[in-house]
Structure 1
Amino acid sequence: MNLFSWLSFLFCVVAASASVTIPSRTVEKRESTSFVSTDGPDFVVNGSTLRYIGTNLYWLPALNTNEDIWYTLGNISAVGIKVIRVWAFNDVDTIPVNGTWFQLIQNGTLSINEGPNGLQKLDTVIEMAEQQGLYVILSLTNNWYPLPLLNNAIAPINSSLFTRDVTLGTNNSLPRNYLSNDYGGMDLYVRQFGLDTHDQFYTNETILNSFLNYTTQVVQRYVNRTSIFSWELANDARCNSTLAASPNCTTETITTWHATVAAHVKSIDPNHLVSSGNQGFMCMDCPKLYPLNPAPPPAQPSASPAPGRKRRSLPQPFTKEKLLKDRAESRRRNREASKRAGTLIENGVRIRGRWVSTAERRQDSQDVGAAFDGSYGVDSQDILNIPEIGFGTFQFFPDQQSYGPADQNLAPIDQTISEGVDWITSQAQSSAAVGKPVTLTGFGLVTQENAPFFIPFNMTTAPYATPQSQATGQSNSTYGVTVQQQASAYTTWLNSGIAAGLNGIMQYQWGQSNLTAVTGTTISPSTTQESPDQSTTGESSSPDETGESPNDGYSTSGDDGEVQQVLGNAVQQIGSVG
């Protein structure tokens, strides 16, 4: 048995054993409804428990034809996927000639586009998803919007297709809406209202009221649509973005914003769940605005359970001590698996015939890291305990974020797989203490084939691309994993998430080919990486010419169906879980 198989098997067993029993508490049973609701740690629809495999396609409302939307949703449904995640925002500071946009934010004023290239496109997505039997998570804004910058090191790109300020040396040829971070968002509000720190989006009263106004206009459109799974308040909200955070931004800043917006959404739409969309960062030592209820005192010996029944255990808070203990156990399991696979990397000091970690490594292991110490201004458990927040969310992108210390026993790909399993287990334990469902709303791993197109969320250029690789689409980069390694990692993470009790797991991102190409839009003729000075007619150069969906490094396009097969297998597995 190879190392991947050992890891997958062991991680699933450990994840299952690490899941925490839900606290005993009185839960008011909801009436059977076609809207997604929760019953303690479960999602419920029409009286039945719902667990799902999903995918992300933020670009769906930006497709050029309704037929393309229907075609894409049909392909997703055919895999067995039940939930998709889509941007419900598309902010601009100048009305584009072509393509979709939802809201104009310009010099402190806002106007909403309800036309056929505006919110009517989102209407179509919702209606078609319902017809295809799919649920939609709609995200209301984005933490990331790297263009334009507020400094002098920019070069204006003037074109009849679009006008964009681009940091010198970055890629200015990608059409608007091609990147997940190119739909407007928090920093666009801050800039257009004349402010300068990212967290003013959360605290400035004028900006907050403007965002709540947009939220009202979108949410009230779909109050009675059963295809809405939930309202996601923001993608990956945190203190900083392209614009820096002020010294005053803390976890309480982000939690307060979530509480305010969640209450506002629920006041408009009591039918649908509200979720955060944060990446799952934690802070064990930060002050809590919504502390967990203390566990009741232990039962006296006389209060024994009835014969044949086990006493119901209570979950323990996810503490720093528990995190470090779990990490030590994970390193031990990894070492044993590596020994069996013959891939153990001996890197330490040998004492009396045994390899032990160096003092430096022992010291490093006591540092919980930025994902757990509140550095990003996010305390996901405190946010999850807000009454109006219906379920927990987290993300996993190891190419862009560190979630824990490296394990010296493992090769790089095995380290990445292990890191994902540990992150999943931690999130399951944290949410169990609150007693609400939890979902992995986005995970991805960049392959060597996708390396030329990999653009991190806070950037506009592919750092591992070369002009030749971008022009030909052929990778000559050593960055990234192989398609087979990606499939192995995805399989392990999906299996571990299912075993740990995650209620939903969503891959990032779906790729779709054979889409209608229109010059100057997200899906452009020949290649989506066209130059800005191409034709401005707004028509495809040939009625038979097609294009592919956006790819910022995680698209399933070009992987010969490997990821879709993995997702299909996970659909069968999660469907068999009671």
Structure 2
Amino acid sequence: MHLLLYFWLLTSICSCLAAASSRTFTKKGNSSFVSSSTDGFSTNGSSLRFIGTNLYWLPTLESNDDIWNVLKNISDTGIKVIRIWAFNDVETIPESGTWFQLVQNGTTTINDGPTGLQKLDTVVQMAEQQGLYVIMSLTNNWNPRPNTTTGNSSSQLLASVTLPRNTLSNDYGGMDLYVRQFALQNHDDFFTNNKILTAFQNYTKQIVLRYVNSPAVFSWELANDARCNSTMPTSATCTTQTITKWHATMAEFIASLDPNHIVSAGTSGFQCADCPKLYPITPTASAAPSPAPGKKRSSVTPLTNEQVTKQRAESRRRNRAAAKRAGTLKEDGVMIRGHWVSTATREVSSSIDSTMDGSSGVDSQDILNIPNIGFGSFQIFPDQDSYGPDDPNLGPVQNKINSGLAWIQQSAQSANAVGKPVVLNGFGLVTQDNLNNFVPFNMTYAPYVSSTAVMAVTNATTNFANSTQQQQGYSSFLDMGNSAGLAGIMQYQWGSTGITQSSAATQLDTTNSSTMGVSPNDGYSIANNTAVQQILKQHAQAMAGDS
């Protein structure tokens, strides 16, 4: 059944996406720096489409040999771009391990030594030697602390941190650390407080000027998953315009420092068609490339709530029909004269959920239309975010996969209407094998580690993918992303075995050895997952051939 749905999704991509996937990228000059345009990315005179991966933890490895070996394994796979944290903020100087910046009592101090930015230097230099580009993310929306409230509610307390620092992607400082150390209360103070803005711009300036002449830097990503809400409370005044304005301010600031590199947004891709825009799309502008002789130009239209609702309803009808043909349909009514009569509504609700209503404070299309933003991003983490209502005709895992496929289509259409490239900068499915390591981005502990084995097994088998489903999901995401014309697709996250270093500040899995470890895992690592690595390798070759 899911194969039939997937085939329909592939073949039903709207005409504007078909135009995007068939366009021929225009070759640029011979600059070794990556550039972006309506045609996508280019470098060294040729277009660039890529498969990438995330490894936030790479600069924390103590051994240069470890860093080199990890990057070589990635390069050997055919992956062209990696995405890392170019920040590592602390509130007190740690006894060991890597840290880049101390943020304390309203002041900041940058660590330029061998445990600081020199580690980032090593990563960038080695990436260049391995032929890899690096997306440098400058801060994180998520930095939860133990024993603090979640969101605006005081009812839930986070468990104590038991993992060493830098094990989790959300344990590198970020927006909430600035807010706490500048004695403010709300998460969105990060976007509006002038003292914080000055401090963050100072750090950003140090990083940007440090690598302004490095061709290994793909782009400066302003923030990972910026939004109004986080672990700390959110003020009532934070809107999509708050987040858009901050992106515009920072993009202009970086552009004034660095003429060589692209500035990118790192949002999850949330949309808000009905929100007021700071950078509205000009109705008469056509973002689509010129058509081939004798063919009509495909229309490019912004994504609307009506379209999303219609697509969801049509998908649900098709899934129901497929289930009926397969004999797996679960009827929800009563039998009258030999026919089922429904007692419940089968149509998708006309209401729009948090991915489309602006409640997160993110309007990715408005952010993408900022003049100094070179490309947009979106993410797929269906174990943490919902991209639409579940279809009762499908199981939990298939619902996650299908919602991700629809999210790719919608994100591609939204970006195509602006006329700039878009990258899926992180996608992942938590598997049953990884469940005990899974820590959501706004938490400090693994919620599915339970002393009640029956409960853990039940959660794993009903709500999370097995290895086969993960492979099917990843292949589907990559196929759909390529078909929809995405400029890049990045798996989250890479994992590596054979790590020789052991630091009190980084958690390594040394179950099978006292000296060799496995890289940090927040529930998405593909260390030892040769099947997924092979899938990435195959698609990397395909994307490179399409460039």
The alignment's TM-score, normalised by the length of structure 2, stands at 0.91
The C-alpha deviation readout for 1:463-498, integer Å capped at 9, x for no partner, is: 1013699xxx99995452101110011111110110
Name the structure 2 match of 1:374: 358
1:194 equivalent among 180, 183, 197: 183
Aligned match for 2:126, one of 125, 128, 131? 128
State, as a whole percentage, how many aligned pairs show the same letter: 57
Does residue 251 of the first structure (1) align with residue 224 of the second (2)? no
1:201 and 1:307 map into 2 onto residues whose CA distance is 47
1:317 is displaced (CA, Å) by 1.8
Q: Secondary structure at the match of 2:187?
A: coil
The alpha carbon displacement at 1:435 in A equals 0.4
What letter is aligned with 1:226? P
1:344 Cα deviation from its structure 2 partner:
3.6
Q: Which residue of 2 aligns with 1:566?
A: 535
Does the 8 Å CA contact 1:281/1:371 hold for their aligned counterparts?
A: yes
Q: Check the 8 A contact 2:134/2:216 in 1, yes or no.
A: yes
> Which stretch shows the higher mean deviation, 182-191 or 319-328?
319-328
Tell me how far apart the structure 1 counterparts of residues 491 and 264 of structure 2 sit (CA, whole Å).
18
**How many correspondences in the alignment?**
533
Deviations along 1:186-210, whole A, 9 cap, x unmatched?
0000000000000000000000000
Match of 1:68 in 2: 66
Partner of 1:516, secondary structure, is coil
Decide whether the 8 Å contact of 1:449 with 1:474 is kept in 2: no
Aligned 8 A contact 2:149 2:158 in 1: no
**What's the offset of the Cα at 1:415?**
1.4
* Aligned equivalent of 2:412, options 428, 438, 444: 428
Structure 1 411/149 Cα, relative in aligned 2: closer, same or farther at 3 Å? closer
Per-residue deviation, residues 323-352 of structure 1 (Å, max 9, x unmatched)? 112222322333344445544444467899
- Code of the residue aligned with 1:492 in structure 2: it is S
Q: Aligned-pair distance for 1:311?
A: 2.1
Cα-to-partner distance string for 1:143-165 (whole Å, 9 max, x where unaligned): 0000156679xxxxxxxxxxxxx
Given candidates 207, 213, 216, the residue that maps to 1:218 is 207
For residues 168-183 of structure 1, the aligned pairs below 5 Å read 170-183=159-172
How far 1:170 sits from its partner (Å)? 1.8
Aligned to 2:143: 145
**How far, CA to CA, are the matches of 1:577 and 1:306 in structure 2?**
18
C-alpha displacement of 1:103: 0.1
Do the aligned partners of 2:510 and 2:518 also contact (CA within 8 Å) in 1?
Answer: no
Summarize the alignment of residues 350-365 of structure 1 with structure 2, pairs less than 5 Å apart.
360-362=345-347, 365=349
- After TM superposition, give the deviation of residue 46 of structure 1 in Å: 1.6
Any conservation in 1 of the 2:56–2:169 contact (CA below 8 Å)? yes
| Distance of 1:140 and 1:285 partners within structure 2 | 30
Q: Give the counterpart letter for 2:297 in structure 1.
A: R
Corresponding residue number in structure 2 for 1:493: 477
- Residue type at the aligned position of 2:494: W
- Please state how far the C-alpha of 1:358 moved relative to its aligned partner: 5.9
* CA–CA distance in structure 2, aligned partners of residues 433 and 172 of structure 1: 44
Evaluate the alpha carbon distance shift between residue 354 and residue 573 of structure 1 in structure 2; reply closer, same or farther with a 3 A threshold: farther
Give the corresponding residue for 1:442: 426
Hey, what does 2:527 align to over in structure 1? Answer: 557
Measure how far apart 1:281 and its partner are: 0.4
Separation in 2 of the partners of 1:127 and 1:344?
Answer: 56
Counterparts of 1:442 and 1:351 in 2: how far apart (Å)? 49
User: Partner of 1:331: helix, strand, or coil?
Assistant: helix
- C-alpha change, 1:151 and 1:37, in structure 2 (3 Å) is closer
Q: Tell me: CA distance 1:340–1:74, structure 2 relative to 1, closer, same or farther (3 Å).
A: farther
Structure 2 residue identity aligned to 1:318: L
- Pair 172,149 (structure 1): closer, same or farther in 2 beyond 3 Å: closer
1:506 alignment partner in structure 2: 490
Hey, what does 1:301 align to over in structure 2? none
Distance 2:104 2:388 in 1: 41
Query: Which of the numbers 517, 526, 529 marks the counterpart of 2:510?
Result: 526
1:576 equivalenced with 2:545 (yes/no)? yes
Contact residue 163 and residue 507 of structure 2 kept, 8 A: no
Contact 1:190 1:196 in 2 (8 A): yes
Q: CA distance change for structure 1 residues 332 and 219 in 2, over 3 Å: closer, same or farther?
A: same
Task: For residue 570 of structure 1, report the CA deviation from its aligned partner.
Answer: 1.3
Per-residue deviation at 1:313?
A: 2.6
What secondary structure does 2:83 align onto? strand
Distance 1:321 1:525, change over 3 A: closer
Tell me, yes or no, if the aligned pair for 1:452 and 1:477 is still in contact at 8 Å.
no
Matched, 1:327 2:312: yes
CA RMSD of aligned residues (A): 2.9
Letter in 1 for 2:299: L
Deviation at 1:296, TM superposition (A): 6.2
Counterparts of 1:275-424 in structure 2, within 5 Å, are 275-295=264-284, 309-339=294-324, 341-347=326-332, 360-362=345-347, 365-424=349-408
Mapped to 1, the partners of 2:342 and 2:485 lie a distance apart of: 33
Relative to structure 1, is the Cα distance of residues 371 and 95 closer, same or farther in structure 2, using a 3 angstrom cutoff? same
Larger CA deviation: 393-402 vs 347-356: 347-356
Partners of 2:486 and 2:174 in 1: CA distance: 29
- Amino acid in the other structure paired with 2:93: I
The 1-side partners of 2:379 and 2:338 are apart by: 41
Give the Cα separation in 1 of the matches to 2:202 and 2:311. Answer: 44
| Amino acid aligned to 1:217 | Q
Mark the CA change 1:41 to 1:104 in structure 2 (over 3 Å): closer, same or farther.
Answer: same
Letter in 1 for 2:167: Y
Give 1:294 shift.
Answer: 1.2
Question: 1:29 Cα shift?
Answer: 8.1
| 1:460-499 mapped onto 2 (5 Å cutoff) | 460-466=444-450, 477-478=460-461, 480-499=464-483
CA contact (8 A) 2:75 2:132 kept: yes
Contact 1:21 1:432 in 2 (8 A): no
CA 42–467 in structure 1, closer or farther in 2 if over 3 Å, else same = same
Using the alignment, how far apart are the partners of 1:82 and 1:476 within structure 2?
36
Displacement after TM superposition at 1:244 (Å):
1.3
In 2, are the aligned partners of 1:15 and 1:497 still within 8 Å (CA)?
A: no
SS of the residue 2:145 aligns to: coil
Counterpart in 2 of 1:119? Answer: 117
State the match for 2:515 in structure 1. 545
Deviation at 1:118, TM superposition (A): 0.3
